[in-house]
Amino acid sequence: THFGFQTVNKNDKESMVKEVFDNVSSSYDLMNDVMSMGIHRLWKDELISTLNPTPGSHLLDVAGGTGDISFRFLEKIKQSPYYLPAIGANPPKNTSLPSSATVFDINQSMLDQGKKRGILNGYNETTDPSIDWVQGNSENLPFKDETFNCYTVSFGIRNCTNVDQVLKEAHRVLKKGGRFLCLEFSQIPNPALRYMYDTYSFNVIPVMGQLVVGDRDSYQYLVESIRKFPDQETFADMMRDAGFQQVTYKNLSFGICAIHSGWKL
Ligand code: SAM
């Protein structure tokens, strides 16, 4: 297809990915629910449960899009036994260690959608220091070495042109003791299940894209990018090559997705 990026150069892939997410940004959250039948919410909850952040955590959420992971992260911190809710003060004064989430994405229109959602959910960048939205490329992060103690990338790394460089940058901006977590579509090990899933994704998802938001090509690209992403073991090796230690992964929904974890030690 014209989105088959194995034969295109770096700039072409970047501009295609930009075009895809420009096209889908306003319908992105709706389509995630439609395509995954809402299951993406459980996968994202699992990512944040795995991270289990406590007050004082500073997250860089790369390819953060409309903020799904960052909002969950900030909410999870409020459920931590170490979180001290504001009592009695007016305006409420947060006595916990300050925490923050930086939503980082190459696509300003995705960030703009997320900012709107943030305001509806009580996270307004201009009045709330716990969240900010930064536009840029994950292959060249505009942050100093050892800035964050958590790094997440959810359904984003397969869209990047140079995955090794993304991992290198992730390792650079994490503090020692910091954790990298990646939630991404992966490869289903069971051949029969893989066949059923491939049939569903190749035939149904582009048609749904056409029916629900009138855009078949963008969803065709998304399906193809899933197939081209490395399997669980290969990605774990790429993480080790970038310097991460204690690399592990767990499959979700029979391996439709996997969460990879690694530490900077
Ligand atoms: N993390 C969000 C989630 O789980 O819902 C959004 C995932 S969305 C499928 C992929 C995101 O990756 C898009 O918002 C896209 O703009 C972003 N992206 C693609 N290439 C990127 C790059 N090189 N650097 C930063 N973000 C990128």
Give residue-wise pLDDT tens across range 181-202. 999 999 999 999 999 998 988 8
Q: Is 162 annotated as a binding residue?
A: no
Stated length of the chain: 265
Q: How many whole angstroms from 94 Cα to the centroid of ligand 1?
A: 31
> Domain 5-263: which topology?
Rossmann fold (3.40.50)
Sheet strand arrangement including 174-185: 131-135, 100-105, 58-62, 148-154, 174-185, 257-263, 245-252
Place of tokens 């809402």: 38
Amino acid symbol at 69: I
Q: Is 154 annotated as a binding residue?
A: yes
Radius of gyration of the chain (CA): 18
Ligand 1 in reach of 63 Cβ (< 6 A):
yes
Q: Is 213 left (phi over 0), alpha (psi -120 to 50) or beta?
A: alpha
Taking 50 as the threshold, does the pLDDT of residue 3 lie above it? no
- Pairwise pLDDT comparison (14 vs 52), residue with the higher score: 52
Ligand 1 in reach of 31 Cβ (< 6 A):
no
- Supply the DSSP symbol for 101: E
Taking 70 as the threshold, does the pLDDT of residue 8 lie above it? no
Ligand 1 in reach of 218 Cβ (< 6 A):
no
Enclosing H/E stretch for 105: strand 100-105
| CB contact at 8 A, 25 and 110 | yes
Beta strand 100-105 with 58-62 is: parallel
pLDDT of residue 128: 81
Confidence of residue 25 (pLDDT cuts 50, 70, 90): confident
- Pairwise pLDDT comparison (128 vs 113), residue with the higher score: 113
| CB contact at 8 A, 232 and 19 | no
| CB contact at 8 A, 187 and 231 | yes
Q: How far apart are CA 259 and CA 43, in angstroms?
A: 9
Q: What is the pLDDT of residues 33-75, one digit of tens each?
A: 877 888 999 999 999 999 999 999 999 999 999 999 999 999 9
pLDDT of residue 70: 97
Least confident range from 119-128, 139-148, 197-206: namely: 119-128
Least confident range from 29-33, 49-53, 163-167, 237-241: namely: 29-33
Ligand 1 in reach of 137 Cβ (< 6 A):
yes
Q: Is 161 annotated as a binding residue?
A: no
Q: How many whole angstroms from 171 Cα to the centroid of ligand 1?
A: 18
Q: What are the φ/ψ torsions at residue 48 (nearest 5 degrees)?
A: -75, -35
> Both tokens of residue 36?
């995954």
- Pairwise pLDDT comparison (264 vs 6), residue with the higher score: 264
| CB contact at 8 A, 43 and 90 | no
Q: Mean pLDDT in the chain?
A: 89
Q: Is 25 annotated as a binding residue?
A: no
Of 58, 32, 45, 29, nearest to 116 (Cα)? 29
Nearest ligand 1 atom, CA 21: 16
> Both tokens of residue 207?
């048609």
First to last CA, the chain: 42
* ipTM score over 0.85, yes or no: yes
Confidence of residue 88 (pLDDT cuts 50, 70, 90): low
Among 110, 218, 219, 259, the mutation site with the greatest number of ligand 1 atoms within 8 A of its Cβ is 110
Place of tokens 């960030």: 111
For residue 75, give the 3-state DSSP assignment.
helix
Q: What is the pLDDT of residues 148-162, one digit of tens each?
A: 999 999 999 998 999
pLDDT of residue 90: 60
Ligand 1 in reach of 70 Cβ (< 6 A):
no
pLDDT of residue 89: 59
Confidence of residue 1 (pLDDT cuts 50, 70, 90): very low
Q: How far apart are CA 164 and CA 259, in angstroms?
A: 17
Which residue lies with its CA nearest to atom 19 of ligand 1? Answer: 159
- Pairwise pLDDT comparison (244 vs 225), residue with the higher score: 244
Q: How many whole angstroms from 91 Cα to the centroid of ligand 1?
A: 35
Place of tokens 């260690």: 97
- Pairwise pLDDT comparison (11 vs 246), residue with the higher score: 246
For residue 120, give the 3-state DSSP assignment.
helix
